[in-house]
Amino acid sequence: MKFLIIGGFLGSGKTSLLLQLIPYMRGQLGIEKTVILENEIGKTGIDDRVLSGAGYDVRGMFAGCVCCTMAGELTLTVQAIMQDMDPEWIIMEASGMAFPRNVKENLADTLGIDARICCLADAKRWPRLLKPMEHLLPLQLEEADTVLVNKTDLISDDALASVRESVAGFSSPETEIFPVSMNGRIDPRIFDRILGRNGS
Amino acid sequence: MTEHMHHHHHHEEDCCCEEHGGIHVSFHEGALIGTLAGHVHADSVDAAKEQLASAMTALAARINGTGGVIGHIKAIVSEEGRGWQISVTEEEAMARSLSPSAIHADCTVIVFAIEEDVLRAYMNDTIGALIRP
């Protein structure tokens, strides 16, 4: 079983990514058994209903953050999913305040799972949020395999170049950074990189 | 920020406060999380979507006007069989159609750098006027 953590700040486009990624996995890669693990900080779920309404298998973890206050519950929930459903992939949409690296370390330490991380950055809000969220945004990028700089359709080329440079400055040299707009179709080669596939 | 500070900061206990007028506010790592769920009085789910998007936009403008930082304001408004997801991260609302009596709404407001009482008042004045617990 493979595990993907989708991280990134609140409203950066994580659910929108899933709404394109899962159909690609089903349609192009023939991966049918994927479970989405949805973590929201609010006491009621919003995004899980969007995803389950689209016909996907979704499990919810609400009213806390999966990288800290719900870390123990995460282990039990993933164990239960593996035991009961035996999926090919578990894709976690972390809360917008989670540090994906903490989740990755928890999964490795407790279950021996080597998870991939894809992190989203909101290109339009990045410059404005970076200062007030300086203890969150840069750290969310840690150990990401891929970073999607989203909402490129809403900013100029110069602004995008600046955001991309900023994101790269907080990322490791191995991290692959892709500018995208969830309002359009994502290049399938980016999906392959998110999933750790060499692609075609 | 050092590793030690990061972990210390991120393992503080969450705190929850009592509900007033159906508005529930909790705290997590410097964020205020306001939630409100209930019925919306509208002629249709589409009309409810328009009204709620407008109220959420007004709430966003108030938060921004007070110097608060919007994380995400998001809601689902649904009726049997169909509904909408509404999302505000700045000042404009985006709506996404859902494929899923009274019209039910759930709204979550995640903000920073704003007082709890101020958030409650703003939520009460905007989305609280539409969503009845």
Q: Give domain status of residue A188, yes or no.
A: yes
pLDDT value of residue B14: 53
B34/chain A closest Cα distance in angstroms? 8
pLDDT value of residue B16: 55
| Chain A residues within 8 A of B11 when measuring between CB atoms | 68
Q: HEC profile for B46-92? A: HHHHHHHHHHHHHHHHHHHHCCCEEEEEEEEEEECCEEEEEEECCCC
From first to last of the 133 residues of chain B, give the pLDDT tens digit.
333 333 333 434 455 555 667 899 999 989 999 999 999 988 889 999 999 999 999 999 999 999 999 999 999 999 876 889 999 998 889 998 875 456 899 999 999 999 999 999 999 999 998 898 8
Domain limits of chain B? 14-132
A88: Cβ–Cβ under 8 A, 6 or more apart, which residues? A1, A2, A31, A32, A33, A34
* CB neighbourhood size of A9 (10 A): 24
Q: Give domain status of residue A44, yes or no.
A: yes
Least CB–CB distance from A65: residue in B28, B87, B108: B28
pLDDT tens digits, residue range A31-67? 999 999 999 998 888 999 889 888 899 999 998 898 8
Task: Reply yes or no on whether the pLDDT at A153 is more than 70.
Answer: yes
CATH number of the domain enclosing A167: 3.40.50.300
pTM above 0.80, yes or no: yes
Residue A116 lies in domain? 2-193
Distance CA A95, CA B35 (A): 16
Q: Which amino acid is at A114?
A: D
pLDDT value of residue B20: 67
Least CB–CB distance from A97: residue in B29, B83, B100: B29
A169-187: average pLDDT? 96
Q: How many CB contacts within 8 angstroms connect chain A with chain B?
A: 90
Q: At CB < 8 Å, which residues of chain A contact B?
A: 9-11, 40-44, 46-47, 49-50, 53-55, 63-65, 67-69, 96-97, 99, 102, 122, 124-125, 129, 132-136, 139
Distance CA B69, CA B54 (A): 19
* CB neighbourhood size of A51 (10 A): 21
Task: Reply yes or no on whether the pLDDT at A136 is more than 60.
Answer: yes
Q: Give domain status of residue A199, yes or no.
A: no
pLDDT tens digits, residue range A77-98? 999 999 999 999 999 999 999 9
A147-172: average pLDDT? 97
Q: Give domain status of residue A39, yes or no.
A: yes
Q: Indicate the SS3 state at residue A42.
A: coil
Closest CA to B31 of B92, B94, B119: B119
Q: Give domain status of residue A175, yes or no.
A: yes
Q: At CB < 8 Å, which residues of chain B contact A?
A: 1, 6, 9-11, 13-14, 24, 26, 28-29, 31, 33, 35, 37, 69, 71-72, 74-76, 78, 83, 85, 87, 89-90, 96, 98-100, 106, 108, 110, 112-113
Least CB–CB distance from A10: residue in B9, B11, B110: B110
CB–CB contact B37 A50 (8 Å): no
Least CB–CB distance from B90: residue in A40, A97, A125: A125
- Measured torsion, CA atoms of residues A134, A138, A140, A141, in degrees rounded to the nearest 10: 170
Q: Give domain status of residue A65, yes or no.
A: yes
Structure-block tokens of residue A98: 């989670």
How much is the ipTM here?
A: 0.90
Q: What angle do CA A104, A43, A23 make, to 5 degrees?
A: 55
| CATH architecture type of domain B14-132 | 2-Layer Sandwich (3.30)
Number of domains forming the structure of chain A? 1
For CA atoms A107, A108, A114, A115, give the dihedral sign: positive
